[in-house]
A and B are shown apart, each in its own frame.
Chain A
Amino acid sequence: MEILKTYKLYIGGQFPRTESGRSYAVLAPNGKHLANVCQASKKDVRNAVQAARKAQASWAGKTAFNRSQIVYRIAEMLENRKVQFIEELAAMGLAQQSAEQEVQMSIDRCVYYAGWADKFQTLLGSVNPVGSSHFNFSVPEPMGVVGVVACQQTALLGLISQILPLLIGGNTVVVVANTTQPLCAISFAEVLATSDVPGGVVNILTGEVGELLPTLAGHMDVNALSIAPIDSNLQNAAQEAAIDNLKRVRIFTDPLHVKSAQGLPYIADFQEIKTTWHPVEQVAGGAGGY
């Protein structure tokens, strides 16, 4: 007998059903019924943000090297489950070869960002010249909790490309997955749950973007939004809802999964630069010591 998988949400390291009890059908392009997935509600958004907030301080407090190791571990776990992801992508309509390629690129991207985890600080930070006896330096710090509307064109690569730059920067995320192709997102949650990523660092919801995004955008405890290319009306509404707590909103008009959209600028988008003035003793003319 074939045991069909129940695709649930991923909140705080657990896989709960939506509190609303709703679900929707995921169909293959040929109309075949693939699975029923949870249709998350406002209250699931609330629970996910709560979990992300709880996890944020300790995630940001880990050493950059440790975050790098954990992201590398995601790549290892993905490698193990390659076959499953290729099958899911193919079931959702991708040609076999494209599916294989997307999974391979996803694994590569994990390794790529594992490498960035302890290097971007040096590139974004600086020691600044000032005209007084101060040691003045700037360092990047995470924004906090970031709301993510995942790429709606790809099922896996877009999601990974969008959240890893946030994670290595010490942010925690609440993701609204690809609505019509959500299977890979939940399977990816299983990868996260088994790869040393602490519960709550990544939370994944499946459902209608139009229903979940306004709540996420208006939530006072969400510090920033990363919104993949979606309907521009929804993007505009999100920007308006984000005004109350001055969220940083990054809206993408081009797909994120392509290589050229990746790298340092995207990491920097979700960092806040902190500048510190540290007094130094002026021992003799021109020879400050620190």
Chain B
Amino acid sequence: MIKEGKFGPAEAIVLLAVSNVARIFLPYPRSLVEMGGPAAWITPIGGFAVALAGAYIMSLLLKKNPDNTIIEITEEAFGPALGITFNLITIAFFISVSFLFVRQFSEALIIAALPETPISVIAAVFLAIGLLGAYLGIEAIARSTRLTYIYVFGGIVFLLFALIPQWNFDNLFPVLGNGFFPVFGLGTFSTAAVTEIILAAVLVQSMGGADKYVRINFFAALIAFTVLSILLAVSVLTMGKEISTETTLPFYRLSRNIYLGRFFQRVEALFIIIWSIVGALKIALTLYGAAVSLARTLKLPDYRPLIWPLGLIIFILSFLPPDLPTTIKLDTDFLRVFAHVPNYLLPLLLLAAYWLKGRVRRAGN
């Protein structure tokens, strides 16, 4: 139906990994430090386990329909009315991710690099690149990610490990931080939303089918959760729990702390390059996900005409929150909870629907 490109598993892994990693540049890690205290770095472990379970459940669904994506499967399982409702929820999720990321990335850039630039200019530039990426298609996005990921992950690793001289291992104690429930309970609930299983399920046909789905998701999640865990550990090691909780952008703050001698210090500009590349790729990807899901829901032959209106909607939505704290609150209280609906609730409901249908059919026989 819709002409999507095809790319290999290696490209799919880095594409999803970069998409998952995007969160660590935002105020998100701060809330994890608040939640887990010195043990914040343990919180992603529970989330990783849940994400793998979610990917497995999703793969069961996708394997039942090897030629379809999650959008068609939902409609087939729930019927037109309920199916389209669920699909619209998925699309709403992509749009929410997209507009909250546009806003947070733009705000973060104003804090970090361009204090006197109007936010609309930065958001417009981000969206313009997102539009271009989504217009050129998933193949171009995947190839660009494949070309840039070495610099992105290399940069992240460099920035984190350049801080070794400032690490203080006393900061990591007590080992369990704020207690068992905040670290493993709340932490798991919060970090499980880092991976977007639903996005991978929408792109499954481009990634080479359902057979490779679990493997791709496993490696993508492994990279993302490892990076997140290391970042949280480095943040607490370097700045301690208190300062990590206070700063809005922990990663940016860390990059400013780098001091490897008189000549090499304050490399946040390097950080901005990585940061904005990841942001642009993430926005392009979610915009593409929203457009393709909508086109599939509406059974349109092409997704491209939808990109411009969706981009405009995202642009306007991104300015609705009055300030950065409201945006962060929306991200924490709304998006992080809402994310569980398409990522985990929907596949479970679908499985239940298939199971029920099977039972009814067997009873009929």
- Report whether chain A binds chain B: no
**Residues in B lying within 8 Å of A, measured CB to CB:** none
